[in-house]
Amino acid sequence: MDILAFAKGVFEAQRFSKFIGAELTGATPTTAEITLAIRDELKQQHDFVHGGVLSYLADNAITFAGGIALGGNALTSEYKINYVRPAVGETLIARAKVEASGKRQAVCSCAIFVLADGAEKVCAIAQGTVVPAG
């Protein structure tokens, strides 16, 4: 199975991901990467990217990393996120990784980077749980 192609198929069916403008740019048996070009309508009152956008990226990257580990149909049941730097730049990249997985859950971490002037800086860190759907 081509994991990235399979994951992209699911991702393309997420209308909110299209609405927000995100792209699934990586998927392996233990990782997932989502990329999002920063534009004005993603920002808050201080011209930083809104925390809700970073949250979307963390939630969804965790879902895909954990979902692959669990073999397909899965959902994020919970996560936490720490914002560590205002997100200012051209592009956001969320990279999630499976830290531990079994039949019943996959626990994943996720770091979100902002790409500005050619350099990546971490702007949020998350940890969450993915469980089989249904």
Give residues in contact with a second copy (CB under 8 A).
10, 13-20, 40-46, 49-53, 55-60, 63, 75-85, 99-100, 102, 104-105, 107, 109, 111, 122, 125-127, 129, 131, 133
**In the complex, what is the shortest distance from the CB of residue 43 to a second copy, in angstroms, rounded to a whole number?**
5
**Type of residue numbered 68:** I
Contact indicator for 78, 128 with CB cutoff of 8 Å: yes
**Type of residue numbered 55:** S
User: Between 70 and 111, whose beta carbon lies closer to a second copy?
Assistant: 111
Nearest to 93 by CA among 112, 119, 118, 116: 112
- Cβ-proximal residues to 119 (8 Å cutoff; 6+ apart), any chain: none
**In the complex, what is the shortest distance from the CB of residue 10 to a second copy, in angstroms, rounded to a whole number?**
6
**In the complex, what is the shortest distance from the CB of residue 54 to a second copy, in angstroms, rounded to a whole number?**
9
Tokens of 35: 């990329």
**Type of residue numbered 64:** F
**In the complex, what is the shortest distance from the CB of residue 117 to a second copy, in angstroms, rounded to a whole number?**
19
User: Between 2 and 41, whose beta carbon lies closer to a second copy?
Assistant: 41
Beta bridge partners of 117: none
Matching residue, tokens 């990249």: 93
User: Between 31 and 109, whose beta carbon lies closer to a second copy?
Assistant: 109
